[in-house]
Structure 1
Amino acid sequence: MSQLDWITYVPRRVHDAAMRLEAACERCGYPSPIGVAEYRMAFRSTLSACVHWHQVWRYMMESHNAAVDFNIRFVVVDDPAFDCLHSVAPERLN
């Protein structure tokens, strides 16, 4: 097993939104949900919605693109107080 490069902690709401977006894209025949997430992020009128879709976009980018080049483990955090993506190198946890 290769050494882990990053651990990314993902709020449950971001993980669930990303999975729903990916499933919707598959149903509609879109090859990738990343462009749809970018569109949604750009056209939301409130700051909190823009921040949410930015997080979804980052999660999608990391899980669809960076995971090919880096060994990333995603950890879904169910604590409602945890409200942002957080990536850390494993050695920083020691």
Structure 2
Amino acid sequence: MTDPATVLARLDEIEHDLAHRQNALESAARKWIVAKRDKEKAKALVFLQADGSVAARQAQADRATALDGKDEEAEYVALKAVVDVLGTRASIGQSILRAMGNA
């Protein structure tokens, strides 16, 4: 990034990338929230149907639902990480552009 035009071009690429990923991120977030609620419901049902102490019932419920929603969570977390990195890159690019203007 040696000149303002290069920085602006990169910022434009980042903006387009973010716009493209926004729908995917929103969809992944929606799926993760639904999966999380479904997991909480399933966990509650297992807890209520289990026998034993509260701790034993909780352990049974945890074991029965431990992997529920893992794919939805992973997709959301991965997309969120990419979007966060792109946001950081955009911020760095803006700082470089300001520094070039002050030089």
Q: Normalization by structure 2: what TM-score?
A: 0.32
Q: Which has the larger radius of gyration?
A: 2
Higher relative contact order (CA 8 A, sep 6+): 1
Which of the two has greater strand per residue? Answer: 1
Which of the two has greater helix per residue? Answer: 2
